[in-house]
A and B are shown apart, each in its own frame.
Chain A
């Protein structure tokens, strides 16, 4: 195990972020490698010293002045929290290139065994046949737009039947 991986694992375990299985494996490695054990002890001592220092001098914990976030009471509360996800998902899709619906099929290959090759479609994108739209949809309808002030994606409710053509910026 290289030193960087060892450092990361020891710190993660100290922070309680390792799974029990990973902790077991790490302990096993440390038990079998005295030099790694010594290095791990050194890291843990450093972590304890840091904690003590922060407790004694709390101001050390504030390394970078943070911009004040508006108090919760003054924030505009979204009445449709899922729509925040929608805009974020669109951005996510754009970033990851996950355009359209991705129909992934995979069987995780087992360790020490060649992955099973299956017949897969040439394109993972599912084609959806479009039929005639419903004349009067009862549902809320939305459109994504960009904020004119350039602050990002907005979701606009565009159906008028139930909402009075209200624009939800």
Chain B
């Protein structure tokens, strides 16, 4: 049950973090004078020489908190971070999370025992936990899981009796008793570093889905982030003010690719065109913050007769403008450059084609700031990986760092000319697991093999000064997961893709 009950969360993690593919582990402050780095699932604050500073990381590394991504405040005084913490009882959780979520759990409480009984009846025939979960006559698994834990806290006997009929009852009961039945609460919080003290201010909480990838508006007091639905089927783009008092859903079904425009008022994001999957996406732009820095008001409101009508005005949301369409078999990714142009990747496909000779190719494209034109960055064939989902533009928007998961090579592309230089060559059987991060317009940091033992290290590159290691003094193996060594398998014949459902 543990595995299956956490299926939704795991799927979400896979969706958001892409599992064994490159992920964000380095976040430089806006001034580039310090950075947060993710080392063995713990966030550390380091200075520009790579030395650990302050005791802040102890606060950010609470055992009951799992923090995976951060977004710096524009003034560099702190970060907005995500975390998951456990609260002991339902009553405690009820005080923390939105009423709509507790109501959703309340509503399903009477169904817990009947639903479990029905699921047990169906799944005892096969004995599979997966079958058990699929047999639950509810599709809102996360709220059901919470309701089960809450019921178990209140009266464990009926649930123990029911689950005892499953072949793996012990595992199920062990999961229910773990942490005393604590409930996980996802949080989005501001963590201030300055003023000689650490200060945590929670902006949003949820028990039904993780709140991830916070990105702070560069000009106004607003944070955009993603909220996965409880069944991990899709993620929504949300925006909230930095005081946590106002917020709304920008789009209900998006990809993980989104960014603020340089005016700090508009969000640019990729969303699936067909509503399912992330292969054919549209790039949208929507203004969510007013001129005065307040969030936009809803697009619809009630008229005097109580009917819902669209209201127009400078302070009202509109439909998003669609800037482009892209084929994204790789991880959807985009970034808004300082001049307002939108950078994104798309696969190149021309049909009809002889599929037997069709080589996969992806390119980088730029939508002009006014959304009126679209141009490819003039790279040469072979300059960019086919899996073009991991790139980061420099703060001045003039260069782009590119990596892929299959090799550990790092390239830097000049935006205007398309000239591409490989600043870190590939090493056989090594794959990149860390997305590079720009310290400044001229300095890039990334993971690469370094030293006589050729171990993963945090490197700083600049065209003028060349390469320098920033992690020389770090404890051994702290960066073991920044790159991955894949054991060569001479007999391997890996089927990479098959039609859906083919074993």
Count of residues in B whose CB is under 8 Å from the partner chain: 100
Tell me whether A151 and B498 are in contact in the complex, defined as CB-CB below 8 angstroms, given that A92-B280, A105-B322, A110-B312 are known contacts.
yes
Q: In the assembly, what is the distance between CA of A55 and CA of B137, in Å?
A: 8
Q: Are A162 and B428 in contact (CB under 8 A)?
A: yes
User: Hey, which chain A residues are within 8 Å of B372, CB to CB?
Assistant: 105, 118
A126/B365 contact (C-beta < 8 A), A24-B308, A140-B385, A153-B499 known: yes
Contact of A138 among B18, B350, B409 (CB under 8 A): B409
Chain B binding surface, main DSSP class: loop
Do the beta carbons of B359 and A98 come within 8 Å of each other?
Answer: no
Q: Are B355 and A144 in contact (CB under 8 A)?
A: yes
Within 8 A of A (CB), among B270-296: 277-280, 282
Interface residues of A in 119-140 (CB under 8 A from B): 126, 128-140
CA distance A30 to B359 in the complex (A): 55
**B158 contacts partner chain A, Cβ-Cβ < 8 Å:** no
Out of A88, A104, A110, name the residue touching B497 (CB < 8 Å).
Answer: A88
Q: Does B382 contact A (CB under 8 A)?
A: yes
- Cβ A131 vs Cβ B279 within 8 A: no
Q: Are B365 and A130 in contact (CB under 8 A)?
A: no
Within 8 A of A (CB), among B323-371: 323-331, 346-352, 355-360, 363, 365, 371
Which residues of chain A are near B374, meaning CB under 8 Å? Answer: 103, 105, 126
Residue of A nearest to B309 (CB): A111
A140 to B432, CA, bound (A): 12
- Confirm or deny: A4 has a beta carbon within 8 angstroms of a beta carbon on chain B: no
Q: Which residue of the partner chain, among A100, A110, A128, A143, contacts B310 with CB atoms under 8 Å?
A: A110
Which listed segment binds A: B216-224, B433-441, B487-495?
A: B487-495
CA of A169 to CA of B491 in the docked complex: distance in angstroms?
12
Residues 22-34 of chain A, each 1 if its beta carbon lies under 8 Å from chain B, else 0: 0011001000000
- Does B497 lie within 8 Å of A154, measured CB to CB? yes
Set A110, A146, A151: member contacting B318, Cβ < 8 A = A110
Residues on A with beta carbons closer than 8 Å to the beta carbon of B428:
162
A86 B329 Cβ-Cβ under 8 A: yes
Which residues on the A side are within 8 Å of B122 (C-beta)? Answer: 58, 61-62
Q: Which residue of A lies closest to B372 (CB)?
A: A105
Residue ID in chain B nearest A84 by CB atoms: B497
Asked whether any CB of chain B lies closer than 8 Å to the CB of A93, the reply is: yes
Give the docked Cα–Cα distance between A79 and B18 (Å): 11
In the complex, the answer to whether A141 meets B278 with C-beta atoms within 8 Å is no
CB contacts (< 8 Å) of A15 on chain B: these are 139
- The stretch that binds A, out of B177-185, B399-407, B468-476, is B399-407
Question: Quick one: closest A residue to B330, CB to CB?
Answer: A82
Measured between alpha carbons, how far is A87 from B376 in the docked complex, in Å?
Answer: 23
How many of chain A's residues touch chain B, expressed as a range? 35 or more
Query: Which residues on A sit within 8 Å (CB–CB) of B502?
Result: 151-152
Contact call A80/B325, Cβ cutoff below 8 A: no
Q: Check A54–B330 contact: CB distance below 8 A.
A: no
Q: Are A142 and B359 in contact (CB under 8 A)?
A: yes
Contact present for B497 and A78 (CB under 8 Å): yes
Which residue of chain B lies nearest to A24 when distances are taken between CB atoms in the complex? B308
> CA A81 – CA B307 in complex, angstroms?
47
Within the assembled complex, what's the spacing in Å between the Cα atoms of A90 and B349? Answer: 8
Q: A141 to B359, Cβ gap below 8 A?
A: yes
Output the nearest chain A residue to B406 by Cβ-Cβ distance. A140
Given the known interface contacts A131-B378, A144-B360, A162-B428, the answer about A70 and B503 at a Cβ–Cβ threshold of 8 Å is yes
B293 to chain A, nearest CB (A): 25
Docked-complex contact A21 and B308, CB < 8 angstroms: yes
**Complexed CA–CA distance, A108 and B378 (Å):** 31
- Say yes or no for B30: interface residue by CB 8 A criterion: no
Alpha-carbon separation in the docked complex, A72 to B387 (Å): 26
Tell me the chain A residues, 37-57 only, with Cβ under 8 Å from chain B: 51, 54-55
- B319 contacts A by Cβ under 8 Å: yes
Given the known inter-chain contacts A139-B384, A152-B498, please indicate yes or no for A89 contacting B280, CB distance below 8 A.
Answer: yes
Q: How far is the CB of A104 from chain B (nearest CB, A)?
A: 4
A158-B349 contact in complex given A82-B387, A86-B330, C-beta closer than 8 Å: no
Please name all residues of chain A whose beta carbon is closer than 8 Å to the beta carbon of B324 when the two chains form the complex.
Answer: 103-105
Known pairs A28-B307, A105-B372; A155 contacts B358 (CB<8 A) = no
Q: List 12 A-B contacts (CB under 8 A).
A: A25-B308, A28-B306, A61-B122, A70-B503, A90-B358, A103-B374, A105-B324, A105-B374, A126-B374, A130-B381, A131-B418, A152-B498
The 10 A-B residue pairs with the shortest CB-CB distance, nearest first, are A137-B382, A134-B382, A99-B351, A108-B319, A86-B329, A152-B499, A140-B406, A139-B385, A87-B497, A138-B409
A-B contacts besides A98-B349, A138-B407, 19 pairs, CB < 8 Å: A19-B252, A61-B118, A78-B497, A79-B20, A89-B329, A89-B349, A101-B325, A101-B346, A103-B324, A110-B312, A137-B382, A139-B407, A139-B409, A139-B426, A143-B359, A152-B498, A155-B496, A162-B406, A167-B493
